């Protein structure tokens, strides 16, 4: 009966349009379950497709979540330190640096470099917040009127971000929600910050806004204030600053932009005789970025494992299909089919399964990613993950490379089973049932 069914199927093939390659049409018939009397083809193909869909979905989400997490952490760190800093070259790495003189010409030259978004002045001063019952060491960061407030506005949870000017010194500050809860500080409250120099200085400042980055190390430290407060506390002149902060348009080109700034400022000597030093955020925060690099490695390992699992699932499914079609292989070989066309049948079959799985996997993965990005469905504990929702960043290039890599890996894995089908002897195959 099996031989009769095989001859009937071959006869059916001869009646089909001639523009279709026979091996392609046979593969299509197998994948569609069109050849009767086979119990396993349909379920095996469905399981194989489901495995690829699941694997592709997980890979897309892993890549999107990993990229999103890196971007969020990176943006929060650079939000307080910018991408590049130009400071005094005096080997003073403390939070109370020696000043440099602001040079508007130099600032304009830096701004004119390719990829530079913003050049802004800043200053820092360590201090101590003291309330009736608590105290906390802080870093007062003074910002200038031209400071980019995009990041501060994005993490604001109450009040407003102070707007500073060049004409008057403001007493308004921005503190973190963590700090406010620790010290029982409320919005609009006046607090005292003490600064220890040759003599203790104190400033009474008003809380205009409260922010929350969910990064405890940053939230416990930074208080945003007017740069003129730093200048007055340090007895600096109005043209003296801690340095320049530089924002760039593409973080992936950080090293390139950093070198360009260094080439411009590396040999610069100011009117007061100071040399300038250029630091990128990776130079100033090496531990954090080393940790983020490890995260990249983890994502790569996950993707490789998923591809291997999906590939072995395909191999198993294809081997089952080959065993089930042993009679058909024997008849085709007895009729004179060559090894390569026979191998193409199962390569076409595997390709069809892979393409369907990849298409639906992309749809599922991108749909879940877009829903999470839009609505923040899946929440996180900020105390452990530094974020309150699962972050998503969809990079079309990453998705394309992921699909190409999956296709290539699956194709390579399918060569072995197709080679096995071509080696089946016709006589043994026809007897097999």
Distance CA 251, CA 115 (A): 10
Q: Which of 251, 274, 297 is the last residue of a domain?
A: 274
pLDDT of residue 428: 57
Q: Which of 241, 274, 307 is the last residue of a domain?
A: 274
Residue closest to 147 by CA, chosen among 284, 247, 262: 247
279 within a domain of the structure (yes/no): no
Give the pLDDT confidence of 369-395 residue by residue, as tens digits.
Answer: 999 999 989 998 887 778 889 999 999
294 with 269, same domain?
Answer: no
112 with 27, same domain?
Answer: no
328 with 409, same domain?
Answer: yes
Q: Which of 247, 274, 301 is the last residue of a domain?
A: 274
Total tally of structural domains belonging to the chain: 2
Q: Residue 270 — very low, low, confident or very high, per pLDDT cuts 50/70/90?
A: low
203 with 242, same domain?
Answer: yes
331 with 375, same domain?
Answer: yes
Give the pLDDT confidence of 178-234 residue by residue, as tens digits.
Answer: 999 999 999 999 999 999 877 889 999 999 999 999 888 889 999 999 999 999 999
269 with 303, same domain?
Answer: no
Which structure tokens are listed for 188? 């609009």
190 with 266, same domain?
Answer: yes
284 within a domain of the structure (yes/no): no
Q: Residue 97 — very low, low, confident or very high, per pLDDT cuts 50/70/90?
A: confident
Strands 135-143 and 156-159, how do they pair? unpaired
In angstroms and rounded to an integer, the radius of gyration of the C-alpha atoms of the chain is 33
The secondary structure of 294-325 as a DSSP string is HHHHHHHHHHHHHHHHHHHHHHHHHHHHHHHT
Handedness of CA 184, 188, 192, 197 (dihedral sign): positive
- Whether 107 and 173 have beta carbons less than 8 Å apart is answered as no
Which structure tokens are listed for 106? 């130099």
- Whether 134 and 183 have beta carbons less than 8 Å apart is answered as yes
Q: Nearest 5°: CA angle at 221, between 215 and 224?
A: 100
Residue closest to 370 by CA, chosen among 109, 128, 68, 165: 68
- When mean pLDDT is compared over 89-93, 106-110, 308-312, 408-412, the highest value belongs to 106-110
281 within a domain of the structure (yes/no): no
Q: Residue 13 — very low, low, confident or very high, per pLDDT cuts 50/70/90?
A: very low
15 with 149, same domain?
Answer: no
pLDDT of residue 280: 93
104 within a domain of the structure (yes/no): yes
Least confident of 49-58, 230-239, 254-263, 338-347: 338-347
Residues 6+ positions from 325 with CB-CB distance below 8 Å: 30, 38
168 with 57, same domain?
Answer: no
Q: At what angle do helices 326-334 and 339-375 cross, to 10 degrees?
A: 140
- Quick check: 423 pLDDT over 80? no
pLDDT of residue 362: 95
Residue closest to 176 by CA, chosen among 144, 215, 147, 145: 215
The fraction of the chain above a pLDDT of 70, given in percent, is: 83
Question: Residue 137 belongs to what domain range?
Answer: 90-274
- Quick check: 158 pLDDT over 90? yes
265 within a domain of the structure (yes/no): yes
Strands 200-211 and 172-176, how do they pair? parallel
381 within a domain of the structure (yes/no): yes
336 with 390, same domain?
Answer: yes
pLDDT of residue 90: 75
Q: Residue 29 — very low, low, confident or very high, per pLDDT cuts 50/70/90?
A: low
pLDDT of residue 153: 95
pLDDT of residue 38: 52
23 within a domain of the structure (yes/no): yes
241 with 191, same domain?
Answer: yes
149 within a domain of the structure (yes/no): yes
Q: Where are the beta strands (DSSP E) in 167-287?
A: 172-176, 190-196, 200-211, 222-226, 240-241, 243-248, 276-280
226 with 330, same domain?
Answer: no
Residue closest to 42 by CA, chosen among 330, 360, 349: 349
């Amino acid at each position: 009966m099996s031989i009769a069914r095989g001859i009937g199927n071959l006869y059916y093939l001869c009646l089909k349009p001639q523009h279709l390659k026979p091996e392609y049409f046979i593969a299509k018939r197998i994948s569609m379950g069109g050849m009767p009397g086979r119990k396993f083809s349909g379920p095996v193909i469905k399981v194989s497709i489901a495995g690829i869909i699941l694997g592709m979905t997980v890979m897309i989400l892993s890549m999107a979540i990993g990229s999103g997490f890196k971007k969020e952490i990176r943006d929060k760190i650079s939000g307080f330190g910018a991408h590049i800093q130009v400071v005094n070259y005096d080997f003073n790495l403390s939070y109370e640096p020696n000043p440099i003189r602001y040079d508007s010409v130099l600032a304009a030259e830096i701004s004119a470099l390719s990829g530079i978004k913003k050049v802004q002045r800043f200053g820092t001063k360590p201090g101590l917040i003291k309330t009736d019952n608590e105290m906390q060491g802080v870093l007062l960061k003074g910002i200038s009127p031209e400071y980019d407030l995009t990041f501060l506005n994005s993490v604001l949870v109450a009040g407003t971000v102070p707007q500073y000017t060049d004409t008057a010194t403001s007493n308004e500050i921005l503190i973190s929600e963590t700090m406010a809860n620790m010290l029982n500080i409320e919005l609009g409250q006046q607090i005292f910050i003490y600064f220890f120099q040759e003599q203790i200085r104190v400033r009474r400042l008003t809380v205009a806004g409260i922010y929350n980055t969910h990064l405890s190390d940053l939230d416990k430290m930074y208080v945003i204030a007017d740069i003129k407060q730093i200048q007055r506390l340090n007895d600096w002149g109005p043209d003296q600053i801690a340095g320049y902060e530089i924002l760039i348009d593409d973080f992936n080109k950080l090293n390139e932009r950093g070198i360009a700034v260094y080439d411009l400022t590396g040999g610069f000597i100011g009117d007061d005789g100071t040399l300038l030093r250029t630091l990128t955020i990776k130079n100033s925060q090496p531990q954090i970025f080393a940790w983020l690099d490890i995260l990249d490695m983890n994502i790569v390992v996950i993707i490789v494992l998923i591809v291997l699992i999906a590939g072995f699932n395909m191999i198993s499914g294809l081997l089952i299909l080959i065993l089930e079609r042993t009679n058909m292989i024997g008849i085709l070989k007895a009729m004179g089919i060559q090894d390569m066309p026979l191998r193409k049948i199962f390569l076409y079959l595997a390709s069809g399964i892979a393409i369907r799985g990849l298409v639906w996997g992309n749809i599922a993965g991108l749909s879940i990613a877009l829903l999470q990005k839009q609505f923040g469905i899946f929440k996180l504990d900020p105390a452990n993950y530094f974020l309150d929702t699962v972050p998503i960043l969809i990079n079309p290039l990453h998705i394309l490379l992921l699909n190409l890599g999956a296709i290539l890996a699956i194709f390579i894995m399918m060569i072995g089973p197709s080679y096995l089908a071509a080696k089946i002897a016709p006589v043994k195959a026809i007897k097999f049932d």
